[in-house]
A and B are shown apart, each in its own frame.
Chain A
């Protein structure tokens, strides 16, 4: 039995109060307290349980298709003068890393005796990953999605419906991801006993950021073993991933956190440019505050009202980042940078042309940062290719007049 994925970093993991340095906690109204407290007191016991781990790893292998390959991208490496590996989360069932978390949480929900699953979704990737595992387990599934996103992401709405999920439009506020999250929280308040809320990123009240991180940690666990096999060393020089809420990045960083000679680079979405007013570069534009149950860094007005972000990539279009990211940012353990819409689109096309892989626009943000790096010698770089670009073809077609 592999117990690696549950190891938590002593220096960078969550403490017993639910905090990562100054960030985290559980800023929730009393109505959510019993639900979150039930989870907090039980989640570690459940995921440490050998039968849980057996089920989790079996599903990841037989259903998700793990381990996902670690691919040495030869032509990309040649172009940038580094040894660049891609962690192929895009090859997972449903096309992105999101399913690692939903498989974990559905098994947990079953062990908590929950009969009904709710989730929020932006672009629909997490909604699809949730609808998928609910169909697999025969549990009722309700997905909240911003009214505007429902219009923008019709194929994912259809996928969720086909798998039996109910998609409920969030019509409040800005009608996008943050409002879908609000609606899911309201649903949970109104259904406190039989419902489990599958949050899709490393955000939300403690223990969600830690729990989701542990389920996504499989990404770096596999990477270490694969690197060892392919290069003889389990550590690269640099690890890179895109960040919206930050779940693929935490999964990609997780087992490298304590290896402090490994540089961790997180790429946020700058939208039309960090200073343009149309951006989702949270660490550049945000301040410390509380959103969706945890203290972190978020984009807000001076009065503490949450600002609506913008990015061409719906998966990075979130006004906050997970509390662990805020901690890695503040302490300098992680380097937080950004890429614009145009830079990401160009990087997506470049990968398609050089390697025959069309990345999700989210993942293309990570690739875009290669252009701004100066590599010393033959450094080894791992980039998390968090999702595939099929869902983004419309955007690519428009952008490049294909």
Chain B
């Protein structure tokens, strides 16, 4: 059991997770942001490692990735920064990014290093289930890393069952089929999708992400799942002046 599993086991109220891109707005802001998020009341965090071609992301996270790469962020530098992670941050931490930087770093190295610095889980949206299962699962599980899969309104029930069987943290429900940073559509369609997933009684807890930016969308997510993940809205905040001073205020605005 890792920190993430403990959180889902013990926490009763809705869970709030925040995503940010490592290396944005400054190369060395990673741990300061993580610490500010913990102090502000985030339940867990997702640290994005930037990629040049982030096809699942909307304009906000794309732009933050470009700035991070320009600032010189790489996986080796990120792991160097994360050496002090567990001196400063106690909540669960996930790494999120695209598969190619992981392949170049070496999947095994990546998992070992992530475990070594105290990371609890990995989200790689373009790592296919077949490749994960046949090549990388043992490496993840051996390092007590939760691999987080995504599910969309179009994902079939059969596939969701399979994902549930392969998951060991939570399942990341996309609010709609979209890239990051669009507003959650509070529609009957979304409601019936969330309801459908809830009625499946999956083994793993679920969280909703993509399009969560305020109290209204957070409450909507928490109505059906264990909580929600905020990405673009927070990255937008990081692009403003004295952002770190306003992290607590931002989290309160989301949670209400």
A34 touches B101 (CB 8 A): no
> In the complex, which residues of chain A have a beta carbon less than 8 angstroms from the beta carbon of B130?
17, 25
Q: Which of A178, A193, A291 contacts B100 (CB 8 A)?
A: A291
Which residues of A in the span 267-299 have a Cβ within 8 Å of any Cβ on B? 287-293
A305 touches B52 (CB 8 A): yes
Q: In the complex, A165 Cα to B152 Cα: how many Å? A: 30
**B131: Cβ under 8 A from any A Cβ:** yes
> In the complex, which residues of chain B have a beta carbon less than 8 angstroms from the beta carbon of A172?
59, 62, 66
Interface string of B52-75 (1 = CB under 8 A from A): 111110110010001001000011
**A326: Cβ under 8 A from any B Cβ:** no
Smallest CB gap from B134: residue in A: A17
B128 touches A28 (CB 8 A): yes
Give chain B nearest CB distance to A232 CB in angstroms. Answer: 47
- Of the stretches B40-48, B173-181, B190-198, B219-227, the one at the interface is B173-181
A25 touches B62 (CB 8 A): no
Interface string of A29-55 (1 = CB under 8 A from B): 111011000000000000000000000
B131 touches A25 (CB 8 A): yes
**B253: Cβ under 8 A from any A Cβ:** no
**B248: Cβ under 8 A from any A Cβ:** no
Smallest CB gap from B58: residue in A: A186
**A138: Cβ under 8 A from any B Cβ:** no
**A306: Cβ under 8 A from any B Cβ:** yes
B56 touches A303 (CB 8 A): no
A31 touches B174 (CB 8 A): yes
Q: In the complex, A291 Cα to B99 Cα: how many Å? A: 9
Q: In the complex, A190 Cα to B177 Cα: how many Å? A: 6
Known A-B contacts A27-B99, A30-B152, A30-B155; A287 and B104 likewise in contact (beta carbons under 8 Å): yes
**A59: Cβ under 8 A from any B Cβ:** no
> In the complex, which residues of chain B have a beta carbon less than 8 angstroms from the beta carbon of A25?
128, 130-131
B178 touches A290 (CB 8 A): no
Most buried by A among B74, B76, B102, B152: B152
B179 touches A28 (CB 8 A): no
Smallest CB gap from B150: residue in A: A30
Give chain B nearest CB distance to A270 CB in angstroms. Answer: 22
Q: How many residues of A contact B (CB 8 A)?
A: 34
Q: Which of A30, A289, A302 contacts B125 (CB 8 A)?
A: A30
Q: In the complex, A304 Cα to B53 Cα: how many Å? A: 10
A303 touches B101 (CB 8 A): yes
B177 touches A31 (CB 8 A): yes
Q: Which of B66, B156, B178 contacts A31 (CB 8 A)?
A: B178
Q: Which of B75, B127, B155 contacts A33 (CB 8 A)?
A: B155
B126 touches A173 (CB 8 A): no
Smallest CB gap from B73: residue in A: A303
> In the complex, which residues of chain A have a beta carbon less than 8 angstroms from the beta carbon of B128?
25-28
Smallest CB gap from A30: residue in B: B150
Interface string of A177-192 (1 = CB under 8 A from B): 0110010011001101
Q: Which of A34, A189, A303, A306 contacts B178 (CB 8 A)?
A: A189
> In the complex, which residues of chain B have a beta carbon less than 8 angstroms from the beta carbon of A179?
53
Q: In the complex, A304 Cα to B101 Cα: how many Å? A: 4
A304 touches B103 (CB 8 A): yes
**Besides A30-B150, A304-B102, A305-B69, 7 new A-B residue pairs in contact (Cβ under 8 A), listed by A number:** A29-B56, A34-B156, A179-B53, A292-B55, A300-B100, A302-B74, A304-B51
- B residues sitting closer than 8 Å to A (CB atoms) are 51-56, 58-59, 62, 66, 69, 74-76, 98-105, 125-128, 130-131, 149-152, 154-156, 159, 174, 177-179, 182
User: Can you list 27 residue pairs at the A/B interface with Cβ under 8 Å?
Assistant: A26-B128, A27-B127, A28-B128, A29-B150, A30-B152, A30-B174, A31-B56, A31-B152, A34-B152, A34-B154, A34-B155, A179-B53, A189-B178, A189-B179, A190-B177, A192-B154, A192-B177, A289-B100, A290-B99, A290-B100, A291-B53, A303-B104, A304-B75, A304-B101, A304-B103, A304-B104, A305-B51
Closest 8 CB pairs of A and B: A304-B104, A304-B101, A29-B125, A30-B150, A34-B154, A303-B74, A305-B52, A29-B56
